[in-house]
A and B are shown apart, each in its own frame.
Chain A
C-alpha cells in the first residue's frame, strides 16, 4: 500500500499541534487587545454635537460648577444633561444673537429637545450609579478626566468591566474627601497627605463596602 503522507508530515503534524496552542493564544490576545483599543472603547474620540458647547470655556474659563448644570449627579443614578432653560439663564443676554447658539434658541422657542450625541454609554445590561460614587468620594476626574480642558467632551477612560473592577478591587487608590469631588485639579498633596494614607483613612470613614461585595457580579449586573 502506498504511503498516504510524506515523511515530513510527521514533523509538520508535531509542530502544528504544538503551534495550535500559540495560534489560539495569539488570536485570543489579539481579540482582547482589539476590544481594549480605542476603536472599540472610543477613548479620546469626540462626537459631533449640535452646538459647539465647550466645557473648557464654561468650567475653567467662567468658573461654573458641574452641579449648576448636572444638578442630579449627587443623588441619582443618571447625571442629567441640562435643559435649555439652564443655558438661557445666561444666554438670554450673553451672545444672544450669535449664529453658534441658533440651535439653542430654536429649541427654546419650539420646545423641541436639543439632541446631543451621547459620549458615554454603557450596555443596558450594566447598572451604574453616579450618586453612590459622588457620596463615597470618587471625583468626576477619576472617570471622566480633565473635563475642564475639553472643548468637546470625549471619553477619557475605557469604561470597560476591567476598568471598573480595577477600582472596585481597591477604591483606596482613588478616594478623596467628599467636598473635593467636583474639583478637577485636587491632589492629596494639597492637604499634605499621600493617597495611600488618606485613602486608607477615608475607606474606613466612608464605610466603603469590601472588595468582595464590590466585585460581585450582581453589583453591576442585575
Chain B
C-alpha cells in the first residue's frame, strides 16, 4: 500500500516536471492570438477573393478621393486641343529642381545614365538603348511630351505612372531640361559667382558605381 502510493508520487513528480518544461519551452516559442488578429495587414493573403489578394483593385468607373484627374494639362501633359503642354503647371523653384534631381536619380539613371546620354547600367546589361536627351530632335520636344512619356511610356520604355506621383514627374521634367542646358552651355552662361563651383570635384554618387562616363564632364565644365 505504502509502496504503491510512493510510486505514484514519483510519477506525479515526473509528470509535473514534464508539464513545467513544456510550459517553459512553449512560452518561449509560441506567439499568442494577439499577434495574429483577425484583420489584414497590407498585401496579406486573403481566402475570400479568387485572386487571393486582400488588396482590391478599384471597381471600374470609381475615383478615389483626391485622385480626380480633371485637368489634362497637369495630368496628361496635353492642352485642351490635344497638343503637348509647353509650360510647367507650377513655378520651378530651386526646391523643385533638387526634388527633380533626386527623383531622376532614383527612377531614370539606370537606363538613361546620370547625364542623360542613354548609357545606364541596365542598358549595358542588354536593355534597348534610349536616345540621348541631348540629341537635337529630343531637345526640341516640349515639356508636356516628356511628362507624357514618363506617364505612359514610349516604345520600349515602360510607363512609370504607378511609381512616380504627378508632381514628381513634372519635377523630373524640369531637371531633364536643366541637364539639357548643362550639356550645351558655355562658361558665359554660368553666373560669375558660381563659376568656381565648376572646378569642385563632383559629389560622390549614391552607389559607388556610377555607370556614366559623362557625369564627370557636366561638373568640370567639359562641354564648354
Binding site for B on A (CB under 8 A): 27, 30-31, 34-35, 39-40, 59-60, 62-65, 67-68, 71, 78, 80-81, 83, 85-86, 88-90, 92-94, 111-113, 115, 121, 123-125, 179, 182-183, 185, 190
| B:33-89 near A, CB below 8 Å | 34-37, 39, 41-43, 45, 51-53, 55
> Which of these binds chain A: B23-31, B137-145, B216-224?
B23-31
Selected contact of B162 from candidates A59, A85, A111, A179, CB within 8 Å: A85
With A92-B158, A115-B45, A125-B37 as known contacts, state yes or no: A86 contacts B163, CB within 8 Å. Answer: yes
Q: Is B122 an interface residue (CB 8 A)?
A: yes
Selected contact of A88 from candidates B25, B29, B158, CB within 8 Å: B158
B residues near A30, Cβ cutoff 8 Å: 24
> Which of these binds chain A: B8-16, B103-111, B179-187?
B103-111
With A68-B107, A81-B43, A185-B208 as known contacts, state yes or no: A90 contacts B28, CB within 8 Å. Answer: no
| B:125-141 near A, CB below 8 Å | 125-128
- The B interface is mostly helix, strand or loop, or mixed, namely loop
In whole Å, how far is B19's beta carbon from the nearest beta carbon of chain A? 14
B158–A94 touching, CB < 8 Å: no
Q: Is B193 an interface residue (CB 8 A)?
A: no
Q: Is B194 an interface residue (CB 8 A)?
A: no
Q: Is B121 an interface residue (CB 8 A)?
A: yes
Size of B's binding interface in residues, CB under 8 A = 42
| Residue ID in chain B nearest A39 by CB atoms | B29
Per-residue 0/1 for B188-213: is the Cβ within 8 Å of any A Cβ (1 yes, 0 no)? 00000000000000001011110100
> Counting chain B CB atoms within 10 Å of each CB, which of A81, A85, A113, A179 scores highest?
A113
4 extra interchain contacts, Cβ-Cβ under 8 A, other than A31-B27, A62-B125, A113-B55?
A63-B110, A68-B163, A78-B41, A185-B208
Q: Nearest 10 CB-CB pairs, A to B?
A: A123-B35, A124-B37, A34-B28, A63-B207, A78-B42, A89-B158, A65-B106, A113-B53, A125-B34, A67-B106
B residues near A34, Cβ cutoff 8 Å: 25, 28-29
Q: Is B2 an interface residue (CB 8 A)?
A: no
A94–B126 touching, CB < 8 Å: yes
Q: Please measure, in the bound complex, the distance between the C-alpha atom of A40 and the C-alpha atom of B77, giving whole angstroms.
A: 53
Q: Is B4 an interface residue (CB 8 A)?
A: no
B residues near A90, Cβ cutoff 8 Å: 122, 127
| Residue ID in chain A nearest B25 by CB atoms | A34
